[in-house]
Homo-oligomer: A and B are copies of this chain.
């Protein structure tokens, strides 16, 4: 049985390109003792995976060429040597970019079958959990506060912004196109938006932030972080979730001016986090998010590519800001 794999052909030195990846066809693996064989239904790609190609600077560890590109999938169990996981079960697993993968039973999570399986990669997957713990645990939103989200139409941002609205906050989204900005206000309830590509970004940002920012949910770093730092209110919180402005380059920019001085003057807390540290509370978060989704208070968005071979293009396009919501690659039915 053939197993298509997309491997890292070469590590990027600067911008990631299609030819950093290659298609390879191998024999599908077999499940060993205590293992399950998973057939990939859909993959998702996230900006954090680009950091994983940068080497030791990333939490993902040092990358190598010649290995299957990593990534989260929703999959169907085709064969099982684990009593707890029946054949036919729907699971999430770190499949990587391939049709078939084997995992220890402890590495897969059986998920409920109702609804679109891809939601287990988005709102109920890493994206939703990241938005949830970043906003609530680090941001600590209170009604009436002003929350700014960068990459606000992105996989995590569109969920974080909506959760801030659910918390009674005024929410300002920063996104990279006027179409995205319209989507945020017209479909997702954001109070204001700013296009960071606007020639007068700083002025528009200042105006949108009104009396200042209580919580800045930062998915980008870079220029937008620099602008937000200057608008933080006393005792504000900056949730450091991602640094998409700095992933797809071999030459990261210097940090924003005013660190640490502005943090001192305004008593600002700036904190980084990784969602994996909250694994023992995923169930709590998923239960709340499911309520919000079911009541239509939280609208998870996804955009789709079709076919495993499209994964590199889907990933590179997402790094350039092409996605709206969770980017999903449909691999099989």
A-to-B contact residues, CB < 8 Å: 51, 57-59, 218, 221, 225, 238, 240-243, 246, 252-274, 277
Contacts and interface: CB of A to CB of B under 8 A. Distances in A.
A247 B84 CA distance: 62
B264 A257 contact: no
A273 B243 CA distance: 25
B261 A246 contact: yes
A240 B252 contact: no
Contact of A269 (B254, B267, B271): B271
Which DSSP category, helix, strand, loop or mixed, fits chain A's interface?
A: loop
Contacts of A271: 263, 267-271
B272 A265 contact: yes
Given A225-B260, A271-B270, A57 B255 contact: no
A240 B225 contact: no
A103 to B, nearest CB: 25
A240 B260 contact: yes
Sorted from nearest, which 9 A-B pairs have the closest CB atoms?
A255-B255, A263-B272, A255-B259, A264-B272, A240-B260, A254-B254, A269-B271, A243-B261, A59-B265
19 contacts: A51-B261, A57-B258, A58-B265, A59-B265, A238-B260, A240-B264, A255-B259, A255-B260, A259-B259, A260-B272, A263-B271, A264-B273, A267-B272, A267-B274, A267-B277, A268-B272, A269-B269, A269-B270, A269-B272
Contacts of A266: 272
A15 B258 CA distance: 18
Contacts of A246: 261
A261 B57 contact: yes
A221 B259 contact: yes
Contacts of A260: 218, 221, 225, 238, 240, 243, 255, 270, 272
Contacts of A218: 260
A200 B228 CA distance: 35
Contact of A264 (B241, B252, B254): B241
Contacts of A257: 252-255
A324 B80 CA distance: 69
Nearest to A230: B57
A240 B232 CA distance: 16
Contacts of A51: 261, 265
A298 to B, nearest CB: 24
Nearest to A226: B255
A63 to B, nearest CB: 14
A49 to B, nearest CB: 14
Nearest to A60: B265
A265 B261 CA distance: 22
A221 B261 contact: yes
A225 B272 CA distance: 16
Contacts of A221: 259-261
A250 B221 CA distance: 25
A193 to B, nearest CB: 22
Given A263-B270, A267-B272, A269-B271, 19 more contacts: A51-B261, A57-B258, A57-B261, A57-B262, A57-B265, A58-B265, A218-B260, A240-B263, A242-B264, A243-B261, A252-B258, A254-B256, A255-B258, A259-B270, A260-B272, A264-B272, A267-B271, A267-B277, A269-B270
